[in-house]
Amino acid sequence: MKTLCTEQSPGRNRETLKLRAAALVITFLVFLFPAANGRAATLLPSWNDSPRRQAIISFVAAVTDPRSPDYVVPEKRVAVFDNDGTLWSEKPLYFQMFFVFSRIRELAPQHPEWRRQLPFKAVLENDRKALRKCGLEGLKQLLAASRAGAGDTEFAAAVRGWAARARHPRWHRPFTELVFQPMLELLSYLKDNGFTCFIASGGGVDFMRVLLPGIYNLPPWRIIGSYPETVYRDGAVVRLPKLAFLDNGPQKPVAIARQIGVRPLLACGNSDGDLEMLQYTAAGKGPRLALYIHHTDAVREYAYDRKSRIGRLARGLDCAAKNNWPVVDMKQDWRVIYPAEKPAAD
């Protein structure tokens, strides 16, 4: 027997190698489809096992299990996420506004008229009170002016340059690191379960498309946002200094219908500006999940809702209570807020 075994060994070794290769391939396939693996214990690891975490997991199970009466084909598994306050922080100001102020100062030498003209004057003089008085109209003007004129490459370089050097005034970290670790896990979890995730945010779309694809692992065309008037001129799409579309409130479902063309199964936001997006999602037939993130942790992040100037959540809390939408309590539900390590920022 021993001799025979020895005789056969080259062939057997080859077969063993083949078996090992097969095992490797199978491991690789299992790795490709982690949903099928169903290790519930490691799902959403930065979430405490709260009713909100359970609501998410039950919902995903219901729409992805082919035997479930609520099963939804992958093509219809669309999820939409607000960005400011939902995927990353938004205090003391929307992060993009720090970029906008920096960019306005950078561009000021080319615009001597700004020294005498609100809201630009207020930015250049660092006059917060005057700036606040300019309200939403002032904000829209600044947003458009920060984008106008520059070509895609120049604008992307300006955004990346700012992101590399700017630091959050309280956390002293790059703004791009102040994303919510539990939400990064939720995005991955949905992707692993055949969902296509989109951002639907009030932020300027060109700004977001420079920074967010690398952070959230999605392509630029799955980011929907506010945009300026644009014209085509000599091979280029030129951005004019006037906002054409503010992606907020009832405009969010309008933009989602136009750009995605599928009513989402799941929507997640944190403010009254997201309410119509959540209502539009919830009003669809069959199972839907409308999810609010409630900022309740003044120590690890910020605590605000009904009376906040930025990220006000009042109508939304009432609507969620009335309709039994899960409201994530950041303090209770999240083990960690920000990633410990720097995420791969693009």
Residues that bind a copy of itself (CB under 8 A): 4, 15, 18-19, 21-22, 25-26, 29, 75, 152, 196, 198, 205-206, 209, 213, 219-223, 227, 230-232, 234-237, 250-251, 253-254, 256-263, 276, 279-280, 282-283
Distances (CA, A) of 328 to 33, 94, 161, 183, 283: 28, 21, 34, 11, 20
Minimum Å distance from CB 8 to a copy of itself? Answer: 9
Q: Which residue has the tokens 């809390």?
A: 317
DSSP secondary structure code for residue 110 in this structure:
G
Nearer to a copy of itself, 157 or 283 (CB): 283
Minimum Å distance from CB 212 to a copy of itself? Answer: 11
Nearer to a copy of itself, 276 or 333 (CB): 276
Minimum Å distance from CB 155 to a copy of itself? Answer: 12
Nearer to a copy of itself, 188 or 230 (CB): 230
Contact 271, 311 (CB under 8 A): yes
Nearest alpha-carbon partner for 223 in 105, 116, 81: 81
- The CA angle 268-214-199, to the nearest 5 degrees, is 25
Minimum Å distance from CB 93 to a copy of itself? Answer: 24
CA 225 to chain centre: 11
Nearer to a copy of itself, 89 or 279 (CB): 279
Minimum Å distance from CB 286 to a copy of itself? Answer: 12
Contact 62, 70 (CB under 8 A): yes
Nearer to a copy of itself, 257 or 298 (CB): 257
**What's the CA gap between 30 and 94, in Å, rounded?**
40
Nearer to a copy of itself, 161 or 213 (CB): 213
Minimum Å distance from CB 291 to a copy of itself? Answer: 17
Q: Going by C-beta distance under 8 Å and a sequence separation of 6 or more, which residues neighbour residue 60?
A: 189, 190, 193
**Burial bucket for residue 322 (CB in 10 Å: 0-12, 13-18, 19+):** exposed
